[in-house]
Amino acid sequence: MGIINTTPDSFFERSRKTTITDSIDKAAQMIKEGASIIDIGGQSTKPGSDSISAYEEMERVLPVITAISQKFPEIIISVDTYYSTVAKAAVENGASIVNDISGGQFDSLMMETVANLNVPYICMHIIGNPKTMQDNPQYENITKEVLDYFIEKINTCRQAGIKDVIVDLGFGFGKTIEHNYQLLKSLSLFKMLDCPLLVGISRKGMIYKPLNIGAEDALNGTTVINTIALQNGANILRVHDVKEAVEAVKLLSLYREIDATEGNSSRMSFYENR
């Protein structure tokens, strides 16, 4: 999943695309590099950010969604929004997934709307809101609490009529660096939810802060953590840098296909015949 931010204040500057032409060019690049999904968002949800209205968000994302869906009809488009009105308009204009960082907490009509639209729903975990979420987040047992959250949320989604739920643990949303790594380490436990797992850690503080660098220098670290996430069960990687993520997926797939026992036998045979 490649990220396009139609906003002037996203935390990673190079992901900001404020014109339709720039957005189409970026989508073309991501598709060429192997993206299966393009995620389009109209407002920043970085720590400390202020929210904008549904109307303003709609003005930013709808022209881009329409243009990309018309230019690349084969690509899957996801809309990154917690407003039900934006979700509905986005799907009517070419989007086919709703990506909600709030898990329905910020708009009581979101789940009903997604169910009526009959599209997949990405349900994320967050504490508080983007403005306050990093104000001393605390858990007694983060893995258990986030797992319990999703058991409840998935049940709510099913009762609303949503058929396809994708789970996003919300790395960086109401979590310390240690919390993020605890969740990463226990990611495989979330497979018990029987939903696809989306991981969005691309160039985030959990990567660049421990390395004492900025987001612009966090590509290598992102690839390392994406690889760990894949090994622990991630099904979808939400990234700024599609080429490198696709390479990680391909190489890990090749690694998994190799039969270690067969490889050892081949090497033994090689040495025995020398």
Q: Tokens 């073309």 label which residue?
A: 28
Q: Tokens 């996003």 label which residue?
A: 168
Instruction: Answer yes or no: are the C-beta atoms of 12 and 240 closer than 8 Å.
Output: yes
Q: Which of 88, 203, 204, 274 is catalytic?
A: 204
Instruction: Answer yes or no: are the C-beta atoms of 216 and 14 closer than 8 Å.
Output: yes
Q: Which of 175, 238, 243, 274 is catalytic?
A: 238
Is 204 known to be catalytic?
yes
From CA 110, how far away is CA 98, in angstroms rounded? 9
Q: Tokens 């960086």 label which residue?
A: 172
Q: Which helix (H) or strand (E) holds 119?
A: none
Token pair belonging to 129? 């809101």
**Nearest-5° Cα angle at 17, 14 to 21:** 130
CA 227 to chain centre: 15
Burial class (CB in 10 A: 0-12, 13-18, 19+), 201: buried
Is 238 known to be catalytic?
yes
Q: CA separation (Å) from 267 to 260, 262, 264, 270?
A: 11, 9, 5, 5
Q: CA separation (Å) from 121 to 1, 84, 115, 146, 225?
A: 14, 12, 9, 18, 24
Residues 6 or more apart in contact with residue 148 via CB below 8 angstroms: none
Residues acting as catalytic residues:
204, 238
